[in-house]
Amino acid sequence: MWIEAPIIIAGPCAIENQFMLEETVHFLNAKHLHLVRAGLFKPRTDYRSYQGLGTEGIPILSYLKQKYPVSFISEILDIRDLDRMAEAVDIFQVGSRNMSNYALLKELGKSGVPVLLKRGMCATIHEFACAAEYLTGYGNQHVILCERGIRSFDTATRNVLDLSCVPLLKKMTSLPVIVDLSHSLGRKDIAAAMGRAALACGAEGLMVEVHPSPATALSDEKQQMNFQEFDEFLNFINMGE
Ligand code: PEP
Ligand code: MN
C-alpha cells in the first residue's frame, strides 16, 4: 500500500481562519496524528452557506506546514485550482458530489497527485469502483477510497453508512479503504461504535471532523467533535494514548 495504515484523517469540516486550524493541528500533532482535513473549497447545497476561504486559505496551510509535520487533505472542485492548491495540499479530496465528474477524475489521474475519492451519495459499489479506475487507469495509483454513506429513507442518521462497501471494495481493488464517520452519520454519539465496526470489517482508516468549538463552527456543527470528544473516541477505538 502506498500509504501506511491506520489512516486517521481528522480536522475541521472547513478552514475558517488561521487560529482555529492551528489549534487543531497543534492538538492532533501532540497525538502523532499528521493527516489533517483542511477544506478550502466547500461544496454547499445552499449557495448562501459558508463556501470556505478558497485559495486565500493556502498561505495558512503553507505557514502551518513550516511549523508542524502535517499533511493537509482538501477538496478540489475545479481542476484549474490544482497547481495553486498543490503548494500546500498533500491529498486532493474528490467529494461525494464529484465522484462521477469524469473530466475531473481523468485530470487527477494524469496528474499523479494523491487523491481521496469519496463514494457518491447515490452511487452503487460497482459505480464507485469504476470511478476509482478513472484515476488508476489514467496512471494514478495514489488513491484512497472513502465510504461516506448513501442516501436512504431513514433520517436517524444523515446518510446510511454502508459497511458492506469496505470488504467488497477490498475484493474488487487493492486500494486502501477508509470510512468517513462524520458525513455518513451526521452525529457523533455513535461514531465511536461505528468506528470500531469499520476497522473490524477491514477499513484501513477513518475520517472524523474535529473542531475546537463545534457549536460555533461555520459548517456541520452537529457532527464535528470537540477535542475532548475526539480523545474519548480515540480511546474507544483503542488508538488513544
Ligand atoms: C467533506 O468531507 O468535506 C464533504 C463535503 O463530504 P462529502 O463529499 O462526503 O459530502
Ligand atoms: Mn463537513
Q: Give the separation between CA 78 and CA 76, rounded to whole angstroms.
A: 6
Ligand that comes closest to the CA of residue 38: 1
Helix axes 18-30 and 58-67, enclosed angle (nearest 10): 30
Q: Which ligand is located closest to the Cα atom of residue 219?
A: 2
Distance 37 CA to ligand 2 centre (A): 10
Determine whether 230 is exposed, middle or buried from the number of CB atoms within 10 Å of its CB (0-12, 13-18, 19+). Answer: buried
C-alpha cell at 139: 496512471
pLDDT tens digits along 185-241:
999 999 999 999 999 999 999 999 999 999 999 999 999 999 999 999 999 999 987
Please say whether the beta carbons of 43 and 75 come within 8 A: yes
pLDDT digits (tens, 9 = 90+) for 39-95: 999 999 999 999 999 999 999 999 999 999 999 999 999 999 999 999 999 999 999
Query: Ligand 1 center to residue 54 CA distance, Å?
Result: 16
CA 174 to chain CA centroid, Å, is: 19
Please tell me whether the overall predicted TM-score, pTM, comes out greater than 0.95 for this model: yes
